[in-house]
Amino acid sequence: MATLDSKLVGVLGDRTAKVLRDLYGYSTIGDLLHHYPRRYLVRGELSDISELVEGDEVTILAQVFSATSRRLHARKGNILEVVVTDGTAKLSLTFFNQAWREKELKVGRQGLFAGKVGVFNGKRQLAHPDYELIPDGSDVDSAVEGFAGKYLPMYPASAKLPSWKIAQCIELAIGALDEVPDFMPDWVRTKYGFPSLHQALVQLHNPADLNSAEKSRQRITFDEALLMQLLLLTRRRELKELSAVARPEQDDGILKKFDSSLPFQLTGGQIAVAQEIANDLAQPHPMHRLLQGEVGSGKTIVALRAALTVIDNGGQAALLAPTEVLAAQHLRTIEKLLGPLAQGGMLGAEENATQVTLITGSQSAASRRDALAKAASGEAGIVVGTHALLGESVEFKDLGLIIVDEQHPFGVEQRDALKSKAVNPPHLLVMTATPIPRTVAMTVFGDLDVSTLRELPLGRAPITTHVVPVLEKPSYLDRAWSRIKEEVAQGHQAYVVAPRISASVSEDADMDFLMGESATTMASVEELGPQLQSGALTGLKVAPLHGRLSAEEKEATMRAFSHREIDVLVCTTVIEVGVDVPNATVMVIMDADRFGVSQLHQLRGRVGRGTSPGLCLLVTSASPESAARERLSAVAATLDGFELSRIDLEQRREGDVLGVSQSGGKSHLRLLRVLRDEALIEAAREDASTILDSGIESHPRLVAELAQVQADATAEFIDKA
């Protein structure tokens, strides 16, 4: 008899085993049994097409009436539309990029079709339905009778391996399988009334009824969540065991001096988060904390206080920024906030004063030498930089804290490279302005503790956002330019954001692909700047800013903008993160539908940073009913970053967020969806914690399963790298 680890070859034979390996990478029975059905065809529960209601999951018995495929114009790909009829009415079935199905869905063929009823252009349809065709020449009634069991599982299938063939393979595999030992602790299984692993696998593929299929699905989804949380919590516990230098707050030092020099009061949120960080830093174990807070919520000061705490204990802090513009800006901001406290080493400097220095890839040899020397000697208490900080020549006297601003460009490896510059593991603070729903934070950053700044500092002016639909209301765009002129007349400044740098050359191949033929019509900085300068914004000082300028040019432009020598900055998303010019009050975003929801939210955070109200105008030529317009309306309707990041996540595939493909291969997250399964993930987290507390060693099968998941995850990671 076979186990989950038995090779498929032994059960299915060489040819079929090879097809499964080539298509999905499956080699064992376990791999195959984790290919789950999407739905079940229920015998005897067929619907009439004329009675279909939008949103229902249905199965119909129908005949192919016509099939046509066509290319898409706006992007690469094709659509196959198949019209079927059951005598009562007609229904369209649509398939994206699956033209191969045209060969089997021939006019006149009969079959069972299953899917969720949708409506498009007023017509009911099934998008990507599952189906089972009735073999040519066989009598329909007996063919339908002949389907094994009452519930026929419908699998994700392909031209090479149709659903019924997969069903056959799985039937053979289950037939050969011994009782599968369960790795789930009994108490967990009892708590939720889950079936055993063996039962769950059998019921999922060949259910006695839909209820037991559902229970089995829940059990296996829970397995995924539990194993993932066990891995994350284990890693977190291991990190907590590491030793680090404790850096408790001192009563007397640069931190206290800084606090008393601050021209404003910290918000309640800042105080609470600062306390969490201070508690972490005082431990002899490294802090691993994520600080999330809306743009403008005041993360920088919180991070700076952490740096000063470390300095008071004789250590240094490194601040990693994603771009040179931001690194330079951080340096300026920190020097300004510290004032005389940043003049360490100068004649007549304040006691406890330190120095802040900058290390970037494009700085001159002389300033780099100077910065390297200060980092190595410890004279610089704070070293700000880009990824250049990770370079081999960079040494610290005593690196005690790493602050990462905007985590996205920095992976775990980069963090590790920087950590290697410290004698003991340093404390780590990751800052992000992209709010992350709790469960996503728990999954993606499961090894980090999370602090959240929810309130904005008092006196912050609100931001109003409007959609400017150029197709329907061309005159609104002129109004947008007049608004910029009005704001500038009142002494304020503006941003105009475009999705690309130049008209002809793309800086981003993905963008080209996504945008297809319409790419050439998209607004670009290089075209828009001169157009505005000589047209709608004549008389104002307009300047471009984008990633293709040299570091000096970017730096000079930003400086000029913050000194009000420029009225309007025409730019790409270089300004997306962190740029802080409180005097800028309007932002016009061209082709706003080209940006993601969270990105738009980040962008508009650049205005309304001072005491005057901010205005953000989302210019679009998307049609009123389109999904793109819906997204823009959502951004206009709320300033709640958490809500927007949810919308963003729901629209993107969650797999992209998690950095794992959930579509196939050996990924262990097949059924689990971070947002949909929030409650389940929370429950799994608690159970995982209980299991670890009471000693996971008493569950050897769970330990073995976990090791397997870990090994597969590592393999997948290495494959990607």
Q: Which residue has the tokens 């959240």?
A: 452
Question: Which CB, 300 or 313, lies closer to Mg ion?
Answer: 300
Out of 111, 153, 298, 499, which residue is the one contacting ligand ADP (CB under 6 A)? 298
Contact range with Mg ion by CB under 5 A, out of 45-53, 111-119, 259-267, 294-302: 294-302
84 neighbors 63 (Cβ within 8 angstroms): yes
Select the binding partner of residue 301 from ligand ADP, Mg ion, none (C-beta < 5 to 8 A, by kind): ligand ADP
Q: 540 vs 201, 529, 568, CA distance in Å?
A: 69, 11, 7
136-165: which residues touch ligand ADP (CB under 6 A)? none
Q: What is the rounded CA–CA span in Å between residue 359 and residue 361?
A: 7
Q: How many CB atoms lie within 10 A of CB 375?
A: 27
- Do β-strands 399-405 and 151-154 pair in parallel, antiparallel, or remain unpaired? unpaired
* Minimum CB–partner distance for residue 382 and Mg ion (Å): 15
Q: What is the helix (H) or strand (E) element at residue 702, kind and residue range? A: helix 700-720
Q: 30 vs 35, 72, 289, 462, CA distance in Å?
A: 9, 39, 37, 55
368-427: which residues touch ligand ADP (CB under 6 A)? none
Site string for ligand ADP, 577-596 (x = CB under 6 A): ---x----------------
Contact range with Mg ion by CB under 5 A, out of 44-52, 346-354, 411-419, 578-586: 578-586
> Radius of gyration (Cα) for the chain, nearest Å?
30
Work out the burial of residue 14: count CB atoms within 10 Å of its CB; fewer than 13 is exposed, 13-18 middle, 19 or more buried.
Answer: exposed
Size of interface with Mg ion, in residues (CB under 5 A): 2
Question: Which CB, 452 or 667, lies closer to ligand ADP?
Answer: 452
Q: Which residue number has the CB closest to Mg ion?
A: 578
Contact range with Mg ion by CB under 5 A, out of 106-114, 172-180, 300-308, 557-565: 300-308
Q: 54 vs 40, 113, 115, 489, 719, CA distance in Å?
A: 19, 16, 11, 53, 42
Regarding 184 and contact with ligand ADP (CB under 6 A), the answer is no
Q: CA torsion angle for 93, 97, 103, 106 (degrees, to 10)?
A: 20
Residues in the chain: 721
**Among the residues of 297-437, which ranges form H helices?**
299-312, 324-338, 365-377, 412-419
Question: Which CB, 321 or 683, lies closer to Mg ion?
Answer: 321
**Among the residues of 429-547, which ranges form H helices?**
438-444, 475-489, 509-515, 525-534
Out of 300, 309, 363, 493, which residue is the one contacting ligand ADP (CB under 6 A)? 300
Q: 165 vs 5, 170, 664, CA distance in Å?
A: 21, 9, 17
Out of 111, 578, 605, 641, which residue is the one contacting Mg ion (CB under 5 A)? 578
Regarding 205 and contact with ligand ADP (CB under 6 A), the answer is no
Question: Which CB, 55 or 263, lies closer to ligand ADP?
Answer: 263
Question: Which CB, 145 or 259, lies closer to ligand ADP?
Answer: 259
Question: Which CB, 132 or 580, lies closer to ligand ADP?
Answer: 580
Out of 61, 173, 184, 301, which residue is the one contacting ligand ADP (CB under 6 A)? 301
Sequence-distant (6+) residues with CB within 8 A of 549 are 557
Q: 480 vs 545, 559, 589, 620, 623, CA distance in Å?
A: 20, 26, 10, 12, 19
Regarding 293 and contact with ligand ADP (CB under 6 A), the answer is yes
Contact range with ligand ADP by CB under 6 A, out of 36-44, 295-303, 366-374, 462-470: 295-303
* Minimum CB–partner distance for residue 40 and ligand ADP (Å): 49
Contact range with Mg ion by CB under 5 A, out of 250-258, 559-567, 573-581, 647-655: 573-581
Contact range with ligand ADP by CB under 6 A, out of 228-236, 293-301, 345-353, 374-382: 293-301
Question: Which CB, 203 or 432, lies closer to Mg ion?
Answer: 432
Contact range with ligand ADP by CB under 6 A, out of 70-78, 194-202, 288-296, 661-669: 288-296
Q: What is the rounded CA–CA span in Å between residue 558 and residue 551?
A: 11
433-462: which residues touch ligand ADP (CB under 6 A)? 433, 457
Regarding 195 and contact with Mg ion (CB under 5 A), the answer is no
Out of 47, 163, 218, 297, which residue is the one contacting ligand ADP (CB under 6 A)? 297
Q: What is the helix (H) or strand (E) element at residue 657, kind and residue range? A: helix 654-658
Sequence-distant (6+) residues with CB within 8 A of 622 are 469, 593, 628, 629, 632
* Minimum CB–partner distance for residue 171 and Mg ion (Å): 57
Question: Which CB, 293 or 322, lies closer to ligand ADP?
Answer: 293
239-278: which residues touch ligand ADP (CB under 6 A)? 264-267, 270
* Minimum CB–partner distance for residue 476 and ligand ADP (Å): 30
What are the b/e assignments for 594-609, b being 16+ CB within 10 Å?
bbbbbbbbbbbbbbbb
Select the binding partner of residue 360 from ligand ADP, Mg ion, none (C-beta < 5 to 8 A, by kind): none
Closest to 499 measured CA to CA, from 566, 417, 576, 562:
576
* Minimum CB–partner distance for residue 578 and ligand ADP (Å): 6
Q: Which residue has the tokens 């290390």?
A: 359
Checking 175-179 for CB contacts under 8 A at 24+ apart, the result is 176/1, 176/2, 176/6, 176/10, 176/11, 176/29, 177/1, 177/2, 177/3, 177/4, 177/29, 178/1, 178/2, 178/3
* Minimum CB–partner distance for residue 94 and ligand ADP (Å): 44
Question: Which CB, 112 or 403, lies closer to ligand ADP?
Answer: 403
Contact range with ligand ADP by CB under 6 A, out of 166-174, 298-306, 503-511, 672-680: 298-306
Site string for ligand ADP, 552-581 (x = CB under 6 A): ----------------------------x-
Size of interface with ligand ADP, in residues (CB under 6 A): 16
Closest to 314 measured CA to CA, from 379, 234, 386:
379
3-state SS class at 209:
coil
301-320: which residues touch Mg ion (CB under 5 A)? none
Question: Which CB, 298 or 344, lies closer to ligand ADP?
Answer: 298
User: Can you give the binding site for ligand ADP, defined by CB under 6 A?
Assistant: 264-267, 270, 293, 295-301, 433, 457, 580
User: Can you give the binding site for Mg ion, defined by CB under 5 A?
Assistant: 300, 578
